[in-house]
Amino acid sequence: MMQQSLQRRATHAGSWYSSSVIQLNSQLESWLSMVDVSHGPAKAIISPHAGYQYCGACAAYAYKQIDPQSTERIFILGPSHHIRLNGCALSPTTVYKTPFYDLIIDRDVYDELNQTSYFQSMSLAADEDEHSIEMQLPFIAKIMESKGQQTGGGFKIVPILVGSLSNEKEYLYGQILSKYLLEPGNVFVISSDFCHWGQRFSFQYYNKGWGDIYQSIQKLDEMGMNLIESLDPLAFAEYLQQYRNTICGRHPIAVLLNAIHHLRTEGKLMNNTSMRFLKYAQSSQCLRMRDSSVSYAAAAFKL
């Protein structure tokens, strides 16, 4: 049961991104101003969730594709980094705070999801410890600022923490969420970084035939990105099983792919829907086996 007055603090502000409204606003405006609307209006986006100094410019490519005027509700699916979770969990709070303004959780949708009996409730401590959802909030607040400070709130959010799901559960949650993907006014934000490469991530796949290590990493990521663009959840699952690429948001991505696949199977989506990756970046270029990096990618799905 959600508590009426419980609020989630912006716990990563000041470390992962600026807590200064002026500085944060300047950064986001700068990144967004350098991007065009090239694959919008987006019905869903994939956006990274690292520190903004690493991935902010990349994330802007995804957020620029959202049309704030037609958006009334934003679902945010982020992977769980700190708690064991074999399903999906909802926040115990009613408000997510950002340096700009408060974001209001859609309690009606939460009630509907809880009625399925497939959603757990995370603790406030777990919610505030997780960065994958919070790193999307300032961008959401910025892109939606024309509506965000309206009396009563011009839009609402639906944050969902996604655990380590089996393929069957990815299909299940995709099926549950598919009706919301279809509804006008709804937009999905899928929070994910891509390859985490290096000894500290216990992942050092290197195909020398693809060039230097950083080029091998990019090739590996591009294989996954191409499969995501194909909107084929089974092919994406087979790719992950074969290469074990450390895409931390692979389960939220798979839930989205399964939602799209379900709607297509039901004949509720036309075949001219498309997913397109718009930007790719790496935190550094690995040349030696002792190096490490994290990859970032921005994508948009439109009807």
Q: Check if the beta carbon of residue 65 is closer than 8 Å to that of residue 45.
A: yes
Helices 21-33/52-63 angle, 10° precision: 50
Structural contact between residues 188 and 75, judged by C-beta atoms closer than 8 angstroms: yes
Burial 184-219 (b: 16+ CB within 10 A, else e): eebbbbbbbbbbbbbeeeebeeeeeeeeebbbbbbe
Residue 242 lies in a domain: yes
Percentage, residues of the chain above pLDDT 70: 97
Contact 46, 298 (CB under 8 A): yes
Residue 278 lies in a domain: yes
Q: What are phi and psi of 296, to 5 degrees?
A: -130, 145
Assigned domain for 2 exists: no
At residue 2, the pLDDT reads 44
Backbone angles phi, psi at 6, to 5 degrees: -75, 130
Q: What does the pLDDT read at residue 1?
A: 43
* Per-residue model confidence as pLDDT tens digits over 53-94: 999 999 999 999 999 999 999 999 999 999 999 999 999 999
* pLDDT band at 151; cut points 50, 70, 90: very low
On the question of pLDDT at 148 being above 90, the answer is no
Residue-level pLDDT at 150:
58
Q: Whole domain around residue 292: which residue ranges?
A: 7-302
Residue 264 lies in a domain: yes
pLDDT in tens, 172-190: 999 999 999 999 999 999 9
**Mean pLDDT, rounded, for 219-239:** 98
**CATH number of the domain within which 19 lies:** 3.40.830.10
Would you call 105 exposed, middle or buried from its count of C-beta atoms within 10 A (0-12, 13-18, 19+)?
buried
Model confidence at 123: pLDDT above 90: yes
Under a CB-based contact definition with an 8 Å cutoff, are residues 187 and 75 in contact? yes
The total number of structural domains that make up the chain: 1
Assess if residue 1 is contained within a domain: no
